[in-house]
Amino acid sequence: MILIGFMGSGKTTVGIELAKILDKPFIDLDQQIVLENNMKIPDIFNKFGEAGFRQKEYEALKNVIEKDAIISTGGGIITYPDSFDLLKNISKDIFYLEIPFEISFNRIKNDENRPLTKSKKSDLKKIFEHRIPLYKELSDYSINGSESVNEIIHNILMHKK
């Protein structure tokens, strides 16, 4: 099972709980990138730019995608065509945690560990809007991410094959 969605949509929180319930390993792709490169995400952005980060994100995705685990992805993964295609062609359930921009923004605005939050609010909103159709195209199910973690998990488990 793979979780996608914008920053602050709850992918990691939900993924950790789901993994416990389903007794499967949890893989946070951001964490995987940090481990593989031995660098923090803002440092990767500073040194290699966003394009370099996306390449590393794709490599990390390739390394874990076949695992029988709950995988939570970074919000921008869908913008990199190789990652998009890899996700498109995998036969695993992909859940999109859908939340309104304002909720996401309030959760992430002061997060030093997310380089894109340095963007102006209006620019971040444009990024958000640009990504929505990509999340929708890729996911098997859209889940309302504004609900409580328990409700989100309940809704995901209803759809799980």
Binding site for ligand S3P (CB under 6 A): 7, 11, 30, 41, 74-76, 114-116
Q: By C-beta, is 34 or 156 nearer to ligand S3P? A: 34
Within a 10 A sphere around the Cβ of 40, how many other Cβ atoms? Answer: 14
Helix axes 41-64 and 81-88, enclosed angle (nearest 10): 30
Shortest approach of ligand S3P to residue 64 CB, angstroms?
14
Q: By C-beta, is 7 or 156 nearer to ligand S3P? A: 7
Nearest to 139 by CA among 78, 76, 57, 80: 78
Shortest approach of ligand S3P to residue 161 CB, angstroms?
25
Q: By C-beta, is 75 or 145 nearer to ligand S3P? A: 75
Shortest approach of ligand S3P to residue 76 CB, angstroms?
2
Shortest approach of ligand S3P to residue 99 CB, angstroms?
11
Q: By C-beta, is 50 or 147 nearer to ligand S3P? A: 50
Kind of pairing between the strands at 2-4 and 26-28: unpaired
CB 143 within 8 A of CB 152: yes
Q: By C-beta, is 17 or 30 nearer to ligand S3P? A: 30
> Interior CA angle at 10 toward 4 and 11, to 5°?
35
Shortest approach of ligand S3P to residue 36 CB, angstroms?
13
Residue 132, H or E segment: helix 121-138
Q: Where are the beta strands (DSSP E) in 61-124?
A: 70-72, 94-98
